[in-house]
Amino acid sequence: MNGAFVDAIGLIAPGLASWESAVPILSGTAPYAPQPIGLIQPALLPANERRRSPLSVRIALRAAEEATSAAGADASALASVFATSDADMEIIHRICVALAGPERSVSPTDFHNSVCNAASGYWSIATGARGPSTALSAYDFNLAAGLQEALAQLSIDDTDVLLVLFDVPPPPPLYAARPVAQPAAVALLLCRQRSARTLAQLSICEATAEQTMADAGLEGLRRTNPAARALPLLQLLAQRRSGIVGIRSYDDRFLGVRVEAP
């Protein structure tokens, strides 16, 4: 019950340029060497949209397209769940600076890009996906909330679901209030049926603690971006091992993710 098959993964974070390049790092055969993510340009965004879309949207879509193209999945047929704590605080910053000024001239593009579901909207436009797509926020607990939403949708609404977690650092004045230190995005393609591509089966179970990363650099990343809370889960998937990963579902609550390798 409430299980799903992970068919593909997308990842982007400092020093983890893609899922493919992250597998040796997460499975411990290559060292983690953080470096800036550079300019991210999702291939499926038309040039015009690339210019208009904020970093949060571009990293979310980059992770999403890595997962769907690795699986050869028809992106237009997938339901999607986008989970983010703060969407894009660069935009909030610009709007708040404008509103604090005498003219109060808010950019219309900033305003429509400020919605929490901007990545969901750009994704559906870029892929022609007309199915259900949602955007949720559970602060630092997006992995637990996003997984529960995606797995419920998969089993109850009978659809394959693309789960995308992402957050980006806020600009300086907001950074002190919300220190998301690095940009990161994670995409999991969750399917109803086992296939030749299946990496593992996932299901929800109980847990009483949160798992951390042994590598100090990766642990630092995990702690400072809500999307990177998925790193212990991704590590197990990279190692092709079975096990239970404890994740935090609220300040004082935990959820287990059972991973069964094929």
Q: Which residues bind other proteins (CB under 8 A)?
A: 1-2, 76, 85-87, 92, 95-100, 104-108, 111-118, 120-122, 124-125, 127-139, 145, 148-149, 151-153, 155-157, 172-174, 176-178, 204, 249-250, 253
C-alpha count within 13 angstroms, C-beta hemisphere, residue 216: 0
Q: How far is the CB of 68 from other proteins (least distance, A)?
A: 15
Q: Shortest distance, CB of residue 130 to other proteins, whole angstroms?
A: 5
CB of 217 to other proteins, least distance (A): 26
Q: Which is nearer to other proteins, 80 or 235 (CB)?
A: 80
Answer whether 42's CB lies under 8 Å from 62's CB: yes
CB closer to other proteins, 12 vs 204: 204
Closest CA to 188 of 2, 10, 5, 60: 10
Q: For residues 183 and 226, which CB has a smaller minimum distance to other proteins in the complex?
A: 226
Q: Which is nearer to other proteins, 133 or 235 (CB)?
A: 133
What pairs with residue 167 in β-bridges? 184
Q: How far is the CB of 250 from other proteins (least distance, A)?
A: 7
Question: Is residue 151 within 8 Å of residue 71, measured between CB atoms?
Answer: no
- CB nearer other proteins, residue 95 or residue 261: 95
Of 24 and 173, the one with the shorter C-beta distance to other proteins is: 173
Per the listing, tokens 């299901």 go with 203
CA atoms within 13 A on the CB side of 169: 16
- Which residues neighbour 133 within 8 Å (Cβ) at sequence distance 6 or greater? 79, 80, 81, 82, 117, 120, 121, 123, 124
What DSSP line would sit under 64-76, residue for residue?
A: HHHHHHHHT--GG
Quote the CA–CA distance of 43 and 48 in Å, as a whole number.
12
Cβ 61 to other proteins, closest distance in Å?
Answer: 13
Nearest to 19 by CA among 56, 57, 71, 54: 71
Minimal distance, residue 253 CB to other proteins, in Å:
7
Query: Least distance from C-beta 163 to other proteins, angstroms?
Result: 13
Q: Which one, 112 or 240, has the nearer CB to other proteins?
A: 112
What residue has token string 């109803």? 192
